[in-house]
């Protein structure tokens, strides 16, 4: 596995990473728990969307759009169930992100930290875009498309993501 950021011409060159059993489930539940637990004591941590980072990471790693979208659907739905948003709100957003991440992961080398940073920032913005779209279309909430907080959140999440992804790489089956 090289650590360059190159465009792959064929899927045959793409390495599909596998993880130890229960890793995805464990990571997801942990992310949801931390996401719900930490902001109680550290409100500013709420800016980090751990379930989204988990979805992006496993989408990019598994590189299977079907798996990616189903993982996103599951993570988003759990996030909805644990929160006060209607069921499907984050489910839709993370389904699309899971699909996009796994689709992109099949075409790009996503192992390089810079690539991961850029992709995470992009997916975070896309995720927020989808959330705002859902809010505008379905909930009739006139949320702004772009704010400074969104930009900061994208940067923070990308940085956290790069670190998190590095840690999660350790759980890969060698």
Partner 1 sequence: MVAIPSRHRSLVLLTIVVVAQVLMLAIQIQRTNTEGESKNLVRSWSVGLISPFERAGTWTVGKVRGTWRHYFALSDAAKENERLKQENDALKLQITQLRGKAAEADRLAKILNFRESQEKVPMIGARVIAASPDANSAVIYLDRGQRDGIRKNMGVITADGVVGKVIDSFSNTAQVLLLTDRESGVGAMIEESRIQSPVRGSGEPLISMSYVSNDDEVKIGEHVVTSGTDRIFPRELPVGTIVEVKQGPPPFKYIRLRPAAQLEKLEEVIVLLTMDPLALKKPAQTSDAAPASAPRNEAAPKSGAGKRTQEPAAKPAEKPR
Q: Binding residues for partner 1, per CB under 8 A?
A: 64-66, 69-70, 73, 77, 86-89, 91-92, 95-96, 99, 103, 134, 138-140
- Residue count of the chain, please give it: 174
Number of H helices, E strands in the chain: 6, 0
For partner 1, which is the closer residue by CB, 17 or 62? 62
DSSP state, residue 14: P
86 phi/psi in degrees, rounded to 5: -60, 145
Rounded to a whole number of angstroms, the minimum distance from the CB of residue 6 to partner 1 is 23
Rounded to a whole number of angstroms, the minimum distance from the CB of residue 43 to partner 1 is 27
The 3-state DSSP class for residue 136 equals helix
For partner 1, which is the closer residue by CB, 87 or 114? 87
For partner 1, which is the closer residue by CB, 83 or 88? 88
Could you tell me if 38 and 160 are in contact, meaning their C-beta atoms sit under 8 angstroms apart? no
Rounded to a whole number of angstroms, the minimum distance from the CB of residue 59 to partner 1 is 12
For partner 1, which is the closer residue by CB, 25 or 139? 139
Rounded to a whole number of angstroms, the minimum distance from the CB of residue 164 to partner 1 is 25
Of 123, 17, 24, 154, nearest in space to 78 by CA: 24
Dihedral angle at the C-alpha atoms of 7, 10, 12, 17, nearest 10 degrees? Answer: 30
For partner 1, which is the closer residue by CB, 92 or 168? 92
Phi-psi region of 159 (alpha: psi -120 to 50; beta: other; left: phi over 0): alpha
Rounded to a whole number of angstroms, the minimum distance from the CB of residue 47 to partner 1 is 25
């Amino acid at each position: 596995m090289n650590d360059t950021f190159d465009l792959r011409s064929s899927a045959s060159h793409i390495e599909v990473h596998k993880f130890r059993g229960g890793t995805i489930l464990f990571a997801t539940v942990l992310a949801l728990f931390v996401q719900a637990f930490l902001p109680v004591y550290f409100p500013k941590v709420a800016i980090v969307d751990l379930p989204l980072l988990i979805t992006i990471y496993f989408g990019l790693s598994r590189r299977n759009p079907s798996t990616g979208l189903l993982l996103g659907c599951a993570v988003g739905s759990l996030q909805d169930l644990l929160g006060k948003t209607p069921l499907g709100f984050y489910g839709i957003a993370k389904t699309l992100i899971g699909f996009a991440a796994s689709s992109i992961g099949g075409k790009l080398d996503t192992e390089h930290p810079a690539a991961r940073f850029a992709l995470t920032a992009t997916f975070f913005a896309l995720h927020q875009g989808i959330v705002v779209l859902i809010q505008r279309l379905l909930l009739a909430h006139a949320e702004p498309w772009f704010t400074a907080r969104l930009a900061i959140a994208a940067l923070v999440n990308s940085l956290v993501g790069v670190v998190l992804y590095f840690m999660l790489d350790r759980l890969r089956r060698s």
